[in-house]
Structure 1
Amino acid sequence: MSMQTTMQAATRGRWAIAGIFLANGFLTGSWAPQIPVFLTRLDITKFTLGLLILLFGVGAVMAMTWCGHLISRHGSRTVTRLFGICGSFGLLIVALAPNVPLAAIAMLIFGGSIGGMDVAMNSNAVVVERRLSRAIMSSSHGFWSLGGFAGGALGGYSIQNYGYLPHAIAVTAIAFAVIAFAIRYLVAEDEPQAVEHQKFTLPRHTAVYLVGLMALLTMISEGAVLDWAALFLHQELGADLAVAGLAYAAFSGVMALMRFLGDGVRNRFGAVATLRGSALVAAAGMLVAGLSPSPYLAIAAFAFCGFGIANMVPILFSAGGNQEGMPSGTGMSVVTTMGYSGILVAPSAIGFVAEHSSFGPIFIALSGLLVIVLLMAGLAHRAEFAPEAVPAE
């Protein structure tokens, strides 16, 4: 295969994996407006709803844990295709569940398919990065954010005017169409990464767990803004609900924009320098938010924090997928599982602390976690790029 043909295939693969990220974000974002209907339709308490949502997280982490093993045996393209097609039906399965036991099973399946798809698509993005010898991870996550915004923004209107089930059917059809088209052009690894009968084992490389710890600390901060920023502004800074809602909107909007710009920054300055600068900006934003006496200053600080956090996770995912001496899927599985565990565990822990304290000190403490990532940034050197050798014709 000539270099020109290889680069053309890699370019198509780059846009194909962007479509997969977009569809994954669209499915996830479309679930949020379904939650109020889910609560009333099954006639359950908020506690029961919380347990069902937890099952989504459990399914995601279970799939993430095993996905690296599947990728090492079958390649990221095959596993992305599998979880992508399955994931497109996840929301519809949940919408069709008539009672709590079946809803619990549906949430496990939905979470597992989205979680497995997440690891596989990030692993395939690493393959594309190697083939192109440049970063595409940040903009891929930008497409995820764009899909999530579209799913959340259109979902409420669709459900209110057409009903929850037609909405779920429409989301499924759109996601399936995008995924079915995109998977035709995904890039494959050049050769199998593991022997057929390799058993599932956890990697023994300490470095990948340290990168996973960095992802955990980063995503704890991201999850804290998602779940608690609005309540912080409303209860402690006296903002009304409309203003309080701007906290996460500013954070996520700036984060999505920076993810589309982040690859250019990373390609110019390198992964480690970009991660250090991003962590410094994020820590400063979180610190100012925690100390802020004004809701508008806090909103600006959270936006500044989103400016920093935007490219931290994509860089850490690239570093996880490029660990020396292990398949990309295995490293990606460890880092994504540890990272997303922060979003799953942190909200309840922060809520418990906030009941006995206030949110201000919590956000100040989170800025300290981001400083730790800053100090560990050198461990992300595996996300730097060198040209990949092109196979001879």
Structure 2
Amino acid sequence: MAVTAATRWASRAQFFASGFIFATWGVHVPTVKGHYGIDEAQLGLAMLAAGAGAMYGLTSAGRWIGRHGPRRMAALCGCVYALLLCGLVAMPGYAALLGLLAVFGLVTSVFDVAINTEAAPRELRDGKPLMSGMHGMFSLGGMAGAASGSAALAAGLAPQNHLLLVSAAMVALVALSATRMLPKPPATPGAAEADHGFRLPRGALAVLGVLAALGLIAEGAIYDWSVLYLQQELGSPQKQAALAYASFSAAMAAARFGGDALRARFAPAVLLRGSGLLAAAAMTLALLTDWPWLALVGFAGVGIGFANVVPILFAASAKVPGVEPARGIAAVSAIAYLGFMAGPAVIGLIARATSLTAALYVVVVFAIALAASARYAAADQPAR
């Protein structure tokens, strides 16, 4: 099956849409908190519901994508993902919000695995790094989503109207780009026999999963809490606070677009070590300053630091001997989402007991842990 410019741009568009939707939810975390009258711990529980849904999706993503192909699953889950934005501030109560976010997490995770499953084997075929660039489109979408959300809030657009507009635009983008994705490849000999459901990964996949969890806990903390941090801890208006995720995503996108060249030049362990140290230093700056604009600079540094963590580890998971790319990515994602699922709730509980500032030092701790463990970022061992 020929890979054309259209198929490459289709993949980029899917990553962009994923980031845009992701950031739109992030911008409206304070909106959701205020609309339902909940505290940080309850908000953390809502994020935990999303994480639980994501875990369920990840246990089945490899099987579903193997059966139906990345194109169909990306189209279905991406469109549902976008449509669910409309319900964020339209649920009749907190319990209903938990249910919506559980489904939100499920389709998010399967969509994520589907688009990575299409991109990762292409890197292997082309013989050169490209996953950082694909994830750069995710970050670019995040930057655009956060910036447009900030502009909508500044213009006085009602949150529900903003969510409806974003939902309609992203459904159209996902559906159109899915038509240009590659069709389902022929079945690999022996694949039917291997299709026995999800197993908790071991060996190289487990190591990669733990490292990805460190990165996603820290990255997810910025996504889930940075807007609220600027608004609540530093007293920024929400239209300025929305720029926290925008600055993070913009810097991450820029670093990811240059990341493939870095990955071609430096060993994964070197990049991971430098990434963790930079992220730790930048997050410390963001948390120590009382100036919102300097905090935005810190969040941008965190974005640069974490830019290539997930691309490196997801690309490695698709290269583990004896494992199909979809299953490798799903397995590593599953461990990563265990951390991603628990992280927001833990931060919410720490924030209620102390402060959100103190809770966000979790990002610093995990960034340092990632740097210290970077030497284990290898995919040259067969899965067991």
Q: 1:183 aligns with which of 156, 178, 194?
A: 178
Q: Which residue of 1 aligns with 2:47?
A: 53
Q: Which residue of 2 aligns with 1:331?
A: 328
2:144 is aligned with 1:144: no
Letter in 1 for 2:163: A
Give distance in 1, aligned partners of 2:157 and 2:294. Answer: 39
Q: Which residue of 1 aligns with 2:262?
A: 265
- Please show how residues 305-316 of structure 1 align to structure 2 within 5 Å: 305-316=302-313
2:319 is aligned with 1:322: yes
Q: CA deviation at 1:330?
A: 1.3
Mapped contact 2:317–2:328 kept (Cα < 8 A): yes
Q: What secondary structure does 1:88 align onto? A: helix
- Segments of structure 1 that go 5 or more residues without pairing to the other structure are 383-393
Mapped contact 2:82–2:171 kept (Cα < 8 A): yes
Give distance in 2, aligned partners of 1:180 and 1:12. Answer: 14
Q: Which residue of 2 aligns with 1:391?
A: none
Give distance in 2, aligned partners of 1:277 and 1:333. Answer: 26
Q: 1:209 aligns with which of 206, 216, 219?
A: 206
Q: Which residue of 1 aligns with 2:99?
A: 105
Give distance in 2, aligned partners of 1:48 and 1:168. Answer: 22
User: What's the TM-score once normalised by structure 2's chain length?
Assistant: 0.80
Q: What secondary structure does 1:98 align onto? A: coil
Q: Which residue of 2 aligns with 1:23?
A: 17
Q: 1:256 aligns with which of 245, 253, 257?
A: 253
Give distance in 2, aligned partners of 1:246 and 1:34. Answer: 12
Mapped contact 1:286–1:367 kept (Cα < 8 A): no
Q: Which residue of 2 aligns with 1:372?
A: 372
Aligned length in residues: 371
Mapped contact 1:280–1:374 kept (Cα < 8 A): no
Deviation by residue 1:239-288 (Cα, 9 ceiling, x = unmatched): 66489988766544322210111112223445455444434544555677
Q: What secondary structure does 2:66 align onto? A: helix
Deviation by residue 1:309-344 (Cα, 9 ceiling, x = unmatched): 211111101111222111211111122222233233
Distance 1:277 1:298, change over 3 A: same
2:164 is aligned with 1:169: yes
Letter in 2 for 1:27: I
Distance 1:364 1:120, change over 3 A: closer
Q: Which residue of 2 aligns with 1:89?
A: 83
Give distance in 1, aligned partners of 2:175 and 2:31. Answer: 29
- Please show how residues 2-17 of structure 1 align to structure 2 within 5 Å: 6=2, 9-17=3-11
2:130 is aligned with 1:116: no
User: What's the TM-score once normalised by structure 1's chain length?
Assistant: 0.78
Q: 1:349 aligns with which of 312, 329, 346?
A: 346
Distance 1:95 1:364, change over 3 A: closer
Give distance in 1, aligned partners of 2:363 and 2:194. Answer: 47
Mapped contact 1:258–1:307 kept (Cα < 8 A): yes
- Segments of structure 2 that go 5 or more residues without pairing to the other structure are none
Q: CA deviation at 1:68?
A: 1.6
Letter in 2 for 1:368: I
Mapped contact 1:84–1:179 kept (Cα < 8 A): yes
- Root-mean-square deviation (CA), in Å? 3.7
Identify which range, 116-125 or 85-94, moves more after superposition.
85-94
Q: Which has the higher Rg, Structure 1 or Structure 2?
A: 1
Distance 1:50 1:323, change over 3 A: same
Q: What secondary structure does 2:329 align onto? A: helix
Deviation by residue 1:193-233 (Cα, 9 ceiling, x = unmatched): 42189331316541101100010112233244556678999
2:122 is aligned with 1:125: no
